[in-house]
């Protein structure tokens, strides 16, 4: 299977974060206030780390997939139509910056590209992401752009967990709530559940991308 490095990274980091969550649980029930506060802050940091890990794995896996498709030298005329949203990203941006009357030639040129025999060169820095904290909607977009067949998340409950993770991460990282207060509001079992969600979503994404390339679903 592809994505060995991504799987190894995810496994290692998730094990560390789970251990931190369990350790923080012990600290929070300590009779000593400073230890309680450190435990609560550790819970808050787990949200930030989980969100960062998910963002990194998603980005790395997408880049690896696009690089492999490019290396396969797929003719543009055989490329899946949805992937033109990535292939022609620069052209679309240029069209958006032009007036309606001056954009017709470029619009026509984009459609001409769909019949080119030259290899499709998919830039690995053009991804169906927006730089925001990962939520289930990001996976919906990835599935739409790549044309993946399976559901974008393995379980509908993952959508709720991903929202909780993104909202919590942003509250802490942007200073809307202090880490100690945030950490005290989270139950250990709930946090371990979010870690499991991240694990499941990562595995689902990597397996889906692996099958996508194997089955040549990037072609029409």
**At 75, phi and psi to the nearest 5?**
-60, 140
Distance CA 114, CA 203 (A): 33
Residue 35 pLDDT level (bands cut at 50, 70, 90): confident
Residue 34 pLDDT level (bands cut at 50, 70, 90): confident
pLDDT of amino acid 30: 61
pLDDT of amino acid 25: 77
Contact 136, 143 (CB under 8 A): no
Average pLDDT over residues 180-197: 93
Is 28 a residue whose pLDDT tops 60? Answer: no
Cα–chain center distance at 200: 13
Distance CA 46, CA 28 (A): 14
Residue 29 pLDDT level (bands cut at 50, 70, 90): low
Distance CA 105, CA 145 (A): 25
Residue 48 pLDDT level (bands cut at 50, 70, 90): very high
State how far the alpha carbon of 181 is from the alpha carbons of 31, 39, 40, 171, 176, in Å: 17, 11, 7, 11, 11
- If we measure between CA atoms, which residue out of 50, 42, 47 comes closest to residue 20? 42
Contacts of 218 (CB under 8 A, 6+ apart): 69, 74, 79, 80, 83, 146, 147, 212
Residue 44 pLDDT level (bands cut at 50, 70, 90): very high
Mean pLDDT of all residues belonging to the chain: 94
pLDDT of amino acid 32: 64
pLDDT of amino acid 24: 83
Q: Which tokens in the block code for residue 3?
A: 């994505």
pLDDT of amino acid 23: 86
| Sequence-ordered alpha helix ranges (H) in the chain | 4-28, 33-71, 84-87, 89-97, 104-113, 136-146, 157-173, 179-184, 188-214
What is the longest distance spanned by two Cα atoms in the chain? 72
């Amino acid at each position: 299977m592809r994505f060995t490095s991504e799987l190894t990274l995810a496994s290692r980091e998730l094990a560390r974060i789970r251990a931190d969550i369990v350790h923080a649980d012990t600290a929070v029930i300590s009779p000593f206030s400073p230890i309680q506060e450190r435990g609560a802050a550790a819970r808050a940091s787990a949200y930030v780390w989980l969100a960062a890990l998910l963002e990194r794995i998603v980005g790395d896996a997408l880049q690896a997939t696009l690089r492999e498709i490019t290396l396969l030298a797929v003719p543009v005329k055989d490329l899946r139509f949805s992937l033109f949203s990535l292939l022609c990203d620069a052209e679309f941006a240029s069209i958006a910056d032009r007036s309606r009357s001056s954009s017709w030639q470029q619009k026509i040129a984009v459609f001409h590209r769909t019949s080119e025999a030259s290899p499709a060169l998919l830039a690995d820095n053009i991804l169906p992401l927006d730089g925001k904290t990962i939520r289930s909607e990001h996976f919906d977009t990835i599935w739409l752009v790549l044309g993946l067949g399976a559901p974008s998340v393995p379980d509908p409950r993952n959508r709720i967990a991903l929202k909780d993770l993104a909202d919590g991460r942003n509250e802490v990282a942007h200073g809307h709530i202090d880490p100690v207060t945030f950490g005290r509001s989270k139950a250990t079992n709930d946090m371990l559940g979010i870690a499991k969600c991240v694990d499941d979503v990562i595995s689902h994404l990597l397996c889906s991308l692996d099958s996508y390339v194997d089955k040549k679903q990037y072609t029409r």
